Amino acid sequence: MPASGAVTRNTLRQQIADALRDEVLAGRLQPGQEFTVKQIAEQYGVSATPVREALVDLSAQGLLDSDQHRGFRVHEFSVDDYRGMVEARMLVVDGIFRRHAPAPAPLAAAVPDVGLGVALVSVRRRGEAAARAARAGDLDILIGYDIRYWRELGRLVSANDYIADFLHRLRIQAWVFSVPYLRSDPDLRGWLWSGHVDLVDAITLGDPEAAVAVVRAYNTQSLEWADRLERPGGGRAARV
């Protein structure tokens, strides 16, 4: 019974953390917004313990700030923070693809795991869904598919859970920063990246140069947007 109770509590803890993260990504919890453990526990109709644990988890991920006397608040990322996220993922992803540069055969054939090809097909499908949502300007659909796309792709190409988890954390933080700007932008579709399939195709064909080119172009545009955001009247849109 104690083990079962622990599993139930940990599951509830994760469910609450996921739900609150989705609230932040949806813009329903705004940067700087404050709340307490008691408020969240009452909102979800659960005890305080799993809520407190979930909030601590989100704080460790950099999404919340903790104040001993006032509770928690949604972290406010700056433009410099965002620029740092982009530069960090650029260096890491560039290194991952460069590692495969000597491979003359497609990546899926170069790795003796027959499941890799199937996994790439799955990632491609998520990429197609994300690209469609980006072209349609459907931010809510895009965020979910984009996060899962990069999560799965990161695990496949890095073969290192620590690197994949780091990139996943950056992806979440970049979305959290960008969402408020995107939701107020009348030209939303013009700022949403839709190159997911191009990247998967390059990886599937074992073309690291093409993969690096796609990612570099994407990150360069992100940094250009960060510069634009700091100009007067430029803070209406974001590229994630």
Burial of residue 190 (CB within 10 Å: 0-12, 13-18, 19+) is: exposed
Q: What angle do CA 225, 227, 231 make, to 5 degrees?
A: 110
User: H or E element: which one contains 48?
Assistant: helix 48-60
User: What angle do the packed helices 2-25 and 37-44 form, to 10 degrees?
Assistant: 100
Question: What is this structure's pTM?
Answer: 0.84
Residue 106 has pLDDT above 60, yes or no: no
Q: Quick count: other Cβ atoms within 10 Å of Cβ 150?
A: 25
Mean per-residue pLDDT, 202-224: 90
Which residues sit opposite 73 in a β-bridge?
Answer: 34, 65
Q: Is the pLDDT of residue 19 over 80?
A: yes
Task: Kindly report the backbone phi and psi dihedral angles of residue 60, in degrees, each rounded to the nearest multiple of 5, phi listed first.
Answer: -65, -25
**Whole-number percent of the chain with pLDDT over 70:** 86
pLDDT tens-digit readout, 128-167? 999 999 999 999 999 999 999 999 999 888 888 999 999 9
Under the banding of pLDDT at 50, 70 and 90, the label for residue 171 is: very high
CA-angle at 49, arms to 45 and 53, nearest 5°: 110
d(CA 225, CA 68): 36
Q: How confident is the model at residue 67 (pLDDT cuts 50, 70, 90)?
A: confident
First to last CA, the chain: 45
Q: Which two three-digit tokens encode residue 232?
A: 């007067």
- Domains, the chain, in order of start with CATH, read 2-74 (1.10.10.10), 79-229 (1.20.120)
Decide if pLDDT at 107 tops 50.
no
Helix, strand, coil percent content, the chain, rounded in steps of 5: 70, 5, 25
- The pLDDT mean for the chain works out to 85
DSSP letter assigned to residue 188? G
Name the token pair of 30: 């705004």
